[in-house]
Amino acid sequence: MKVLIIMGSESDKPVMQESQNHLQFFGIENEMVVASAHRNPDKVREIVVNAQSQGYGVIIAAAGMAAALPGVVSAYTSLPVLGVPLDGGLPGGIDALYSIVQMPAGLPVGTLAVGKAGARNAAVLAARILALGNKQIAERVEAFKQNGYRI
Amino acid sequence: MKVLIIMGSESDKPVMQESQNHLQFFGIENEMVVASAHRNPDKVREIVVNAQSQGYGVIIAAAGMAAALPGVVSAYTSLPVLGVPLDGGLPGGIDALYSIVQMPAGLPVGTLAVGKAGARNAAVLAARILALGNKQIAERVEAFKQNGYRI
Amino acid sequence: MKVLIIMGSESDKPVMQESQNHLQFFGIENEMVVASAHRNPDKVREIVVNAQSQGYGVIIAAAGMAAALPGVVSAYTSLPVLGVPLDGGLPGGIDALYSIVQMPAGLPVGTLAVGKAGARNAAVLAARILALGNKQIAERVEAFKQNGYRI
Amino acid sequence: MKVLIIMGSESDKPVMQESQNHLQFFGIENEMVVASAHRNPDKVREIVVNAQSQGYGVIIAAAGMAAALPGVVSAYTSLPVLGVPLDGGLPGGIDALYSIVQMPAGLPVGTLAVGKAGARNAAVLAARILALGNKQIAERVEAFKQNGYRI
Amino acid sequence: MKVLIIMGSESDKPVMQESQNHLQFFGIENEMVVASAHRNPDKVREIVVNAQSQGYGVIIAAAGMAAALPGVVSAYTSLPVLGVPLDGGLPGGIDALYSIVQMPAGLPVGTLAVGKAGARNAAVLAARILALGNKQIAERVEAFKQNGYRI
Amino acid sequence: MKVLIIMGSESDKPVMQESQNHLQFFGIENEMVVASAHRNPDKVREIVVNAQSQGYGVIIAAAGMAAALPGVVSAYTSLPVLGVPLDGGLPGGIDALYSIVQMPAGLPVGTLAVGKAGARNAAVLAARILALGNKQIAERVEAFKQNGYRI
Amino acid sequence: MKVLIIMGSESDKPVMQESQNHLQFFGIENEMVVASAHRNPDKVREIVVNAQSQGYGVIIAAAGMAAALPGVVSAYTSLPVLGVPLDGGLPGGIDALYSIVQMPAGLPVGTLAVGKAGARNAAVLAARILALGNKQIAERVEAFKQNGYRI
Amino acid sequence: MKVLIIMGSESDKPVMQESQNHLQFFGIENEMVVASAHRNPDKVREIVVNAQSQGYGVIIAAAGMAAALPGVVSAYTSLPVLGVPLDGGLPGGIDALYSIVQMPAGLPVGTLAVGKAGARNAAVLAARILALGNKQIAERVEAFKQNGYRI
């Protein structure tokens, strides 16, 4: 199973590249796509609705400010969705953090720390999830741990 | 032109009833509908995409916690969208406030105060907007002012 | 109908220029004026009381710190008032945000995001409002959308 | 010299009664008036512009939420203005606090604590100010201190 | 694979019961255990180190105040760890939220909303994760969705 | 009557110089002294207890972080005390702001904005206070107003 | 060595009784005294300056709102000072927390959690400190641990 | 008795060097060690469980973000534990501050200010603690005071 990294803006790429780098360490196929819940809601819908049938197992969604993307992604899929709040609006990305973590009951987004630490951890958590059904990834997760949690 | 009041949950109705009461004072036809950006994204999409052709001129969108609804509504329409953050998650509804007001450039949500004051003011702002093209509403806006900003 | 952009200080101009640039994209006549609710309350009063008769349809009001201007503008007019909180006091402009969005019931200010995103969105929301009664602006709003919400 | 207590809403009276009770302990003539910077800007203007000529020496201004009143009062007078943030909007009255204390350079509002403690302290600070030119009040200020800062 | 629900205190049970109720709806075997990262660090260690070999596939960890438990659990396992911040210290459980979501790079905790909404969503996210390798759970996840995201 | 400017640290001088510059504009004799409520409590006590008899009419006290100085000054004098919260600890000086403005009932500190705006406004408020009993200062206060609230 | 518990107000006693109850469990002689850094600065000074010579080894200081007491106590003694922020002003006692924990370099206050948890922990930390030189207290600290950190 | 300085990351050393510099001024033997509650929980456990028998009397623990280290250290020892929140995650290190100071009842961490001021004060508080049983350190504490609380 692959991991889909979806982010709201081209400008989020330098941070979310951290997710991709980590996924590659874990040997997890992945794709990065830019689609905004506000600017391209139908593109988001189409990508996410079809994600599972296209072989994705986990979706990492990242956005800043009024960060609706992760929650909207969770609405369009039954896959586990991991959210990464990004800086850019209120200091520390607190607006994005609250917009992502405070999902109402029923529609979960597993939220990571704001910014680069969160981008890395989203990939690690995706790896832990996929490792449940994939021995090779499980071995890479152990290698990551042996490596001091660094790639 | 009518006003559409859309809210994320049945439990938001007692607060959003304040919007409806005020719209009725201004003589503005309106409808209240419950549809969640997370639980019913396609319902939200369909209602909002068709709102303008159905005679709506302003949409009031209210939600609590990770309040994606107003922003998503703004994504599906070119009508002016007014947002009402609701209490229910973090104290004072600060999570909903940040989720609504901090929209990225291009997709505005005119945000009002958290809770009942905001629910009332969304209706008043809708009335001010529609009064630009409707003398009867304009007269009611003046009557509201003469009345000490009370209905 | 024109749009009036009023701001509390000369130093707010670089941010509010974003509003003007966007209004020009939408083909909306506008004027920028500096007048402080604290330093020039009578100037504010006079400008705002006469705004409607002078052909303005929407007022965008921007201020930082204890940002009283948007609320005071709302008190002196029945036009729709849009508020832009500006940075400059507490980090992230949180003081200006609370001073603008938390208006008491009866006197609405449709509040946008802090800073440049809000300055742009105030213009977009003004365009959406004026588009209700003006086909040319409505076409420009669609062009803006087709353009990826950029000017 | 008298003290004027001005507040934005009838509902603020129970808290601001604390100011009045304390002023009476200090033997300071005073008057309480309800006038909102948003609902009655011209009434506020008229009262405040004439306050000094009517024998007032200090103005205590109290408001909640987007508490513009104290700053607007400071704009219309050269008397010392003391501000009392009131609860009612965001938890702890933090919106009112920021709206009052963060005045831009040139227009001061001497801000006290949120709520009853602030209402009392506004009166005590007014007494300390008037005591500079009035021995009887100065004696009452000492009596207050001897009394354990209670009336 | 089973789900382990671990919480810091007996008093957390009424909230975390929501996780258990939801897991039962999804047909996921689970166990609730009380062990504090501060009061019983060695108990936590022993339970968590052995969780995978005991058949657990996901761990839900909940705590309030300085909520170290979810992070410590993540340190002792390679299983996916989901964190639920609980109220009890600072208003809204903001202390627990920051203590859980702001994990440093390498050690992820997928964090859910504060309180009951988070307790429910931790179970739903666990179900989505386990559904990747279990058709029966996948069917229950769809049933949950059809049921309006309620059990 | 003179104004005493007291601050907790040498490093506060560049900001508090703003107070002094403004007091000089108003023609108010003043003195700046560095004394910390924590490092030199007895020095603070001695200076403040004798301030009134030495001809001071108002005390401006400024400090950052756990800013106890303004409150302690208020405890040792019956003169009006104005507080200026300074940046240096938590972002925006929010720690100093809360430490100064939230004085318990009985011991007021009239608090101004954080940083330079507050330093200026403390001087302006001192001038407004002393103007009550001094025509020359009153004239300078009007000149300041005519000058656009600038020196 | 004894422990001195000093608090700003009679109304703090129900919370600080928790400190006393825990100190008694540890067999540590103690005394509770009410003295405010604002209302009784000289009383605070006298008590604290003499604390060491009177046999005290640790001072626990508790206050709410602009909680200057713990820092002022630290200024008047070389004993270790532990601070307990109390609720009563801003929600969650955040004003007291910042006023106590953010002490400038040189004058430490070891700060505990807001409210009852902090009141208990101040006693436990005092016991750990005194246990360094007193075997009986050390044994009671172990007994406390064996008892599940409860008295 | 020695002081152990433990911190979560190599990158914390420049700040925690301040603790070491101050301890050296007080003539207190100390050791700095890097061990993370998340990356090396067993290393933390082993170091801390043996700290008392190795001659340590106080432990200073520093960490940023979800700063579990100080609390976990407190769980593994009966020595007094002092916590230093470090910047690096949310602005001002507020996430680390809440993660350290809000310890549940029974397991105290005496928390100092965020960053360098806290790093220095942890050493000063350790010196005050050890001075209770060591005259030479007590003399150095007085020398520090005479020196204006600087080394």
> Which residues on chain D are in Cβ contact (under 8 Å) with G10?
none
Span F4-49, pLDDT tens digits: 999 999 999 999 999 999 999 999 999 999 999 999 999 999 999 9
Decide: helix, strand or coil at residue C6. Answer: strand
The SS3 call for residue E133 is coil
Measured between alpha carbons, how far is F143 from F147 in angstroms, rounded to an integer? Answer: 6
Beta-strand relationship, G30-34 and G56-64: unpaired
**Nearest CB partner across the interface for C72, out of D68, D90, D100:** D68
Q: Which residues of B touch E113 (CB under 8 A)?
A: 65-66, 89
Q: Which two tokens stand for residue C78?
A: 């029945």
CA distance F116 to F48: 24
- Is A104 close to B36, i.e. CB distance below 8 A? yes
CB-CB contact of E82 with E64 (8 Å): no
Tokens of B83: 């947002």
pLDDT of residue A56: 98
Q: Do A94 and H89 touch (CB under 8 A)?
A: no
Give the mutation candidate from G7, G46, G47, G65 for the F interface (greatest F CB count, under 10 A). G65
Among B residues 56-115, those touching chain A with beta carbons less than 8 Å apart? 64-68, 71-72, 74-76, 89-90, 94-95, 98-104, 106-107, 109
Residues B70, B119: Cα–Cα separation, whole Å: 13
**Neighbour count for residue B34 (Cβ, 10 Å):** 17
| Average pLDDT value over all residues in chain A | 98
Q: What percent of chain D has pLDDT over 70?
A: 100
**What residues 107-146 of chain E have any CB closer than 8 A to a CB of chain G?**
none
Residue F124 has a pLDDT of 98
Q: Give the neighbours of chain H: at least 3 Cβ pairs within 8 Å.
A: A, E, F, G
pLDDT tens-digit map of F82-109: 999 999 999 999 999 999 999 999 999 9
**pLDDT-above-70 percentage for chain G:** 100
Which is it for the CA torsion C138, C141, C143, C146, positive or negative? negative
Residue A149 and residue H66: Cβ atoms within 8 Å? no
Kind and range of the H or E element at A59?
strand A56-64
Per-residue model confidence (pLDDT) at position C101: 98
Per-residue pLDDT at A119: 98
- Residue-wise pLDDT tens digits, B54-82: 999 999 999 999 999 999 999 999 999 99
Q: What is the band of C65 on the pLDDT scale with cuts at 50, 70, 90?
A: very high
Q: How do residues G103-116 score in pLDDT, each as one tens digit?
A: 999 999 999 999 99
Mean pLDDT score across all residues of chain F: 98
Helix (H, G, I), strand (E, B) or coil at C59: strand
Q: CA distances (Å), E123 to each of A39, B8, D51, E22, E83, in order?
A: 31, 22, 63, 6, 11
Q: Give chain F's end-to-end CA distance (angstroms, integer).
A: 21
Q: What is the pLDDT of residues A69-111, one digit of tens each?
A: 999 999 999 999 999 999 999 999 999 999 999 999 999 999 9
- pLDDT, residue D27, reads 98
Contact B119, B21 (CB under 8 A): no
Q: According to the model, what pLDDT value does residue G142 have?
A: 98
Q: Which residue of H has its CA nearest to G144?
A: H106
Q: In this complex, is the C-beta atom of H11 within 8 Å of any C-beta atom belonging to chain A?
A: no
Q: Which residues of F touch H94 (CB under 8 A)?
A: 90
Which residues in chain E are closer than 8 Å to A125, comparing Cβ atoms? 80, 108, 110
Three-state SS annotation for chain B = CEEEEEECCHHHHHHHHHHHHHHHHCCCCEEEEECCCCCCHHHHHHHHHCCCCCCEEEEEEEEECCCCHHHHHHHCCCCCEEEEEECCCCHHHHHHHHHHHCCCCCCCCEECCCCHHHHHHHHHHHHHHHHCCCHHHHHHHHHHHHCCCCC
Angle at which helices C69-76 and D41-49 cross, to 10°: 110
**Nearest residue of C to residue F148 by CA position?**
C39
Binding residues of D for substrate: 9, 12, 39
Cα of first residue to Cα of last residue in chain B, in angstroms, is 21
Q: For B123-133, what is the mean pLDDT?
A: 98
Interface test with B, best of D9, D90, D95 (most B CBs within 10 A): D90
Name every chain E residue with its beta carbon within 8 A of the beta carbon of A112.
101, 103, 108-111
Q: In chain A, which residues have their Cβ closer than 8 Å to the Cβ of H65?
A: 113, 117
- Residues D11-63: tens digit of each pLDDT: 999 999 999 999 999 999 999 999 999 999 999 999 999 999 999 999 999 99
Question: What integer pLDDT is reported at residue H77 of this predicted model?
Answer: 98
pLDDT attached to residue G68 = 98
Per-residue confidence in pLDDT tens, chain A, 151 aa: 999 999 999 999 999 999 999 999 999 999 999 999 999 999 999 999 999 999 999 999 999 999 999 999 999 999 999 999 999 999 999 999 999 999 999 999 999 999 999 999 999 999 999 999 999 999 999 999 999 999 9
Summarize the confidence of residues C98-109 as an average pLDDT: 98
Is residue A72 within 8 A of residue A49, CB to CB? The reply is no
pLDDT in tens, E89-105: 999 999 999 999 999 99
Q: Do chains D and A touch (3 or more CB pairs under 8 A)?
A: no
Burial B92-115 (b: 16+ CB within 10 A, else e): bbbbbbbbbbbbbbbbbbbbbbbb
pLDDT in tens, chain G (151 residues): 999 999 999 999 999 999 999 999 999 999 999 999 999 999 999 999 999 999 999 999 999 999 999 999 999 999 999 999 999 999 999 999 999 999 999 999 999 999 999 999 999 999 999 999 999 999 999 999 999 999 9
CA distances from F3 to D2, F27, F33, F121, H66 (A): 24, 11, 11, 14, 46
Would the CB atoms of C113 and A39 count as touching at under 8 Å?
A: no
Rounded (10°) angle between helices G94-101 and H94-101: 90
Nearest to C39 among F91, F94, F149 (CB): F149
d(CA H84, CA H16): 9
- Tens-binned pLDDT, residue by residue, of chain H (151 aa): 999 999 999 999 999 999 999 999 999 999 999 999 999 999 999 999 999 999 999 999 999 999 999 999 999 999 999 999 999 999 999 999 999 999 999 999 999 999 999 999 999 999 999 999 999 999 999 999 999 999 9
CB A95 within 8 A of CB A66: yes
